[in-house]
Amino acid sequence: MELETLVIHADRSAEDDTDIAPALHPASTFRARSAGEFATLANAARPERYYTRYGNPTHARCERLLARLEGCEAALLFASGMGAISTAVLAQVAAGDHVVAQASHYMGTTRLLTDLLPRFGVGVTLVDQADAAAFARAIVPETRLIVVETPSNPVLLLTDLAAVARLARDRGITTLADNTFASPVNQRPREFGIDLVAHSATKYLGGHSDLVAGVVAGSTEAVERIWKTSIVLGATASPFDAWLLLRGLRTLPLRVERQSATALELARFLEGHPAVSRVHYPGLESHLQHDLARRQMKAFGGVLSFEVAGGYAAAQRLVGSLELAANAVSLGAVETLAVHAASVWEGSLGPEEIAQAGISPALVRLAVGLESAQDLKADLARALAAV
C-alpha cells in the first residue's frame, strides 16, 4: 500500500474493524475476566489492556499505523519526542559504553548526550554529520549506538543514512535516526538500514499544534527492549493525544507534500532577495548536500532557514514584522511559524555550541504551514522591506 492508503487503513485490527473512526480509551487500568487472564496480562510483553503505562488500545492502534509508516515491525508511543529519544538511548547503553552522535542535534538531544549520559559513565563523541568518514573515525570498541538526525535543526544539514548504517552494521552497533524534520513522507531511514527511527510526533505526525507525543519504531525485539525501559521511565502518552495523533496522521501525506512544495518555492524566492544573505534548504541546488538530499529524500520538507543581511537585530526585527508567520517555536503544523534562532538557543547553548551548530546570529528558521505560498511570500517580502 502507498502511504496515502496506509494512513487511512493500517491502524484497523480485527477487534475494532467496525469502528470507522477510532475509539478513545481513556482508562488507566483494565479488568481481567479471570485470575488466570490477569496473571497472563501482568506478565505479558506490551499488554494492550492491563495498565496504560504498559499499553492501551488507543496507543496500540496508533502504534500499528506508525510502524507501517516507517516500514518497521513495531512502534512505541511516548508522551513526547524527548521521552521517545531519551528512553530509546537509555535502553541501549550502560556505564562504560560509548555513543557517536552529531555536533548539531535537537537541543534536548544535545543535552541528553552531553550532560546526562556522561553522568552515568557513558562516553559521547560528536562529529560533523556532513562528513561520513568522521563517524567511522569516532567509533571505538565500546561504541554501542550511533545517533543521527537528518535534516538537522536549524541549518538543515544532512547525514548520509546508508553510509552510517553500513558502518554500524559491520560492527554490530545500533543506529537511531531522528526523522522528525523529513517525516516518513519524505524519508524512511529503515530503507537505508537504520535500526531505530524516532520522531517528535508533536510536529508533522500530529500536524495541528494540539498534542505532544513521540514515537520510536524498529524491530519487534528492539521495541520490546525499549518498552521495558519505558515502563520504568514512564513517559507515557495520554490516550487522548494518541487519539488526536491518529486523526492528524490521516492527512500526513497531503500536508507534507504541500508544505514541502511551498517551502521550496519560498526558499527560491528568499535566495533571490537582496536582503537575504544565505538560504539553507536541501531542495536548493546551492545546498552543499543537494545530491545526497535527492538520493535519500522524496521532497525536502517544510522547514528552511535563512540569514538576514542586516545581522542579529535585523533578524529579530524581521520575525517581529511578519504577520502571517507566528513567532513561535515548533514546526510541522498547519500554521507557519518563524523564530530568530539565536534568541531560542542562547539560553541553553553556550556561544561555542551555537557556533559549532552553525547558527549565525542572523539566522531565521521558518516552519512552513498550509497557507497559500503567494500569501506567505507577500508576508516575507513586506517584512524584509521593513528591515
Ligand X SMILES: *Cc1c(COP(=O)(O)O)cnc(C)c1O
Cβ atoms 112, 87 nearer than 8 A:
no
55 or 332, CB closer to ligand X? 332
| Among the residue ranges 24-32, 176-184, 248-256, 369-377, the one whose residues contact ligand X (CB under 6 A) | 176-184
Choose, from 49, 61, 68, 203, the residue flagged as catalytic. Answer: 203
149 or 160, CB closer to ligand X? 149
Residue 212 beta carbon to ligand X: minimum distance, rounded to whole angstroms = 5
Q: Using alpha carbons, select from 257, 264, 256 the residue that is nearest to residue 376.
A: 264
Residue 127 beta carbon to ligand X: minimum distance, rounded to whole angstroms = 18
Binding of ligand X by 153 (CB under 6 A): yes
Among 61, 203, 280, 287, binds ligand X (CB under 6 A): 203
Among 160, 178, 241, 379, binds ligand X (CB under 6 A): 178
Q: Return d(Cα 100, Cα 147) in angstroms, integer.
A: 6
Binding of ligand X by 212 (CB under 6 A): yes
Give the CA distances from residue 345 to residues 199, 309, 360, in Å, rounded to whole numbers and listed in that order: 21, 20, 11
Residue number with the smallest Cβ distance to ligand X: 81
57 or 206, CB closer to ligand X? 206
| Among the residue ranges 156-164, 184-192, 195-203, 310-318, the one whose residues contact ligand X (CB under 6 A) | 195-203
Q: Using alpha carbons, select from 184, 176, 186 the residue that is nearest to residue 226.
A: 176
Residue 215, C-alpha cell as written in the block: 514515537
Binding of ligand X by 108 (CB under 6 A): yes
22 or 332, CB closer to ligand X? 332
Choose, from 50, 54, 106, 281, the residue flagged as catalytic. Answer: 106
Residue 326 beta carbon to ligand X: minimum distance, rounded to whole angstroms = 16
Residue 13 beta carbon to ligand X: minimum distance, rounded to whole angstroms = 26
Residue 31 appears among annotated catalytic residues: no
Q: Return d(Cα 177, Cα 197) in angstroms, integer.
A: 5
Task: Using DSSP, state whether 149 is helix, strand or coil.
Answer: strand
| Residues in 67-106 that interact with ligand X by CB under 6 A | 80-82, 106
* Helix (H), strand (E) counts: the chain: 17, 12
Residue 128 appears among annotated catalytic residues: no
Choose, from 16, 51, 53, 278, the residue flagged as catalytic. Answer: 53
Cβ atoms 80, 235 nearer than 8 A:
yes
Read off the amino acid at residue 175.
T
Residue 106 appears among annotated catalytic residues: yes
Residue 375 appears among annotated catalytic residues: no
Q: Terminus-to-terminus CA distance in the chain, angstroms?
A: 48
Cβ atoms 28, 40 nearer than 8 A:
no
Choose, from 11, 160, 178, 379, the residue flagged as catalytic. Answer: 178
Among 200, 259, 305, 360, binds ligand X (CB under 6 A): 200
Q: Please name the residue ranges forming H helices in 112-170.
A: 117-119, 132-138, 161-170
Give the CA distances from residue 173 to residues 140, 143, 229, 264, 331, in Å, rounded to whole numbers and listed in that order: 11, 7, 19, 36, 31
Q: Return d(Cα 27, Cα 239) in angstroms, integer.
A: 8
Among 86, 180, 187, 260, binds ligand X (CB under 6 A): 180
127 or 176, CB closer to ligand X? 176
Q: How many residues does the chain have?
A: 387
Q: Return d(Cα 203, Cα 188) in angstroms, integer.
A: 16
Residue 338 beta carbon to ligand X: minimum distance, rounded to whole angstroms = 15
Give catalytic residue positions: 53, 106, 178, 203
**Binding site residues, ligand X, CB under 6 A:** 80-82, 106, 108, 149, 153, 178, 180-181, 200, 202-203, 212, 214
